[in-house]
A and B are shown apart, each in its own frame.
Chain A
């Protein structure tokens, strides 16, 4: 029997939902790490047993980075601080925003994106990490800003087969790319419009909300930015708009299907100044042609007026044979689809605000 795990990181702890019946029913446990903000969760299925990795933030006691090899029954923290900025750094670690598994060929490599803006690399499966100096020492650093969420690298996209290539994104700062294993980094924002600065097309400084990578064509990326939805066919070198088929170009989440090329999921919000779903309708939008056209998915979702936001990491897919799609809201609801978004059911309610979700067959 397989176990499906859904990790729901909230503003007041981590909730873990398990399904033993192919995602028909779920049993929640938690809160793990009570009274912490759980901003980053990774489910690493490259190893056996699969590993749960979390980056949480206690408002009193600072950031905590921990792992579990028994689906959350017990947690491990090494004696050494897992993620730490060197003495020479201007500020200490405030928060881990992203945990991302490295390429399949390097099963012990895990990356973390942090606030302040840092990229860290682990070679022991996510127990301890080292700062990637090439990005930390980038000459643009003094000009990177803080979005509302803080000055953070919130998206880390290792290349699935080429360990030399990676794309990261920050808000604000924009997209940066490396092709030499992190030694040097180039901006990747050509074509992305910035509506919040005088120059609409700066080299960097963009407010990127989320980027995802196509699972079958890894040079193809999709981005939800602060007013803009884009596709890149050259791994972030240039971008073109794919917002025309959506009811809005604003939102936070952007998720790629784990097996079908060109299939992506998005949860639009009306506008920067009106962060509600368009027409107050709870709808996920899916494109099956790399953003050329979009279809609303709403079967099983609430039909009454719907106001909550879905945050940048609060939507995900799993790795089941028929892909599951999940999202959580700022008012603590969790919705799941076990058929690629065709139909949905609410599986969680009355949780604290949902900051991130991650799901996998463990």
Chain B
């Protein structure tokens, strides 16, 4: 089993056209999941985090239904059954 990460349509090109990717078998935090994405799909990861590792302000990442900022941020625990949803927040004009 691995963590399932669902990719919004606007970022699927950066994930090689995928709508979901599975990463992080055995990883325990959201940060580790994103670190693995950085090695496999580096363009996707830098749309989500800046070069200092900070989650971009208008990117929301839900771990098992809860936005990670309401949990432990990038330190939020994940398990092999976790589902991660990446959803751009409502912003812009």
Contact = CB atoms under 8 A, between A and B. Distances in A.
Contact of B47 (A58, A80, A89, A93): A58
A58 B52 CA distance: 18
A94 to B, nearest CB: 9
Interface string A5-36: 00000000000000000000000000000010
Interface stretch (B21-29, B54-62, B74-82): B54-62
B51 A81 contact: yes
Contact of B46 (A35, A62, A85, A91): A62
Contacts of B46: 62, 81
B42 A92 contact: no
Interface string B53-93: 01010110000000000000000000000000000110110
Contacts of A85: 51-52
Interface residues of A, number: 17
A137 B69 CA distance: 34
Contacts of B34: none
* Interface range on chain B (Cβ under 8 Å from partner): 10 to 19
Contacts of A61: 11, 47-48, 56, 59, 88
Nearest to A84: B51
Contacts of A89: 52
A60 B89 contact: yes
Given A61-B56, A80-B42, A35 B92 contact: yes
Interface in A123-154: none
B51 A79 contact: no
A304 interface: no
A79 B42 contact: yes
A35 to B, nearest CB: 7
A118 to B, nearest CB: 12
Contacts of A81: 42, 46, 51
B32 interface: no
A35 B11 CA distance: 13
Given A79-B42, A80-B42, A59 B51 contact: no
Interface in A86-104: 87, 89, 91-93
Interface in B10-53: 10-11, 42-43, 46-48, 50-52
A60 B91 contact: yes
B58 A59 contact: yes
A226 B22 CA distance: 53
A77 interface: yes
A93 B50 contact: yes
Interface of A: 35, 58-62, 77, 79-81, 84-85, 87, 89, 91-93
Interface of B: 10-11, 42-43, 46-48, 50-52, 54, 56, 58-59, 88-89, 91-92
9 contacts: A59-B58, A60-B59, A61-B59, A61-B88, A62-B47, A80-B42, A85-B51, A85-B52, A87-B52
Given A59-B92, A60-B58, A80-B42, 15 more contacts: A35-B92, A58-B47, A59-B58, A60-B10, A60-B47, A60-B59, A61-B56, A61-B88, A62-B50, A62-B56, A81-B42, A81-B51, A87-B52, A89-B52, A92-B50
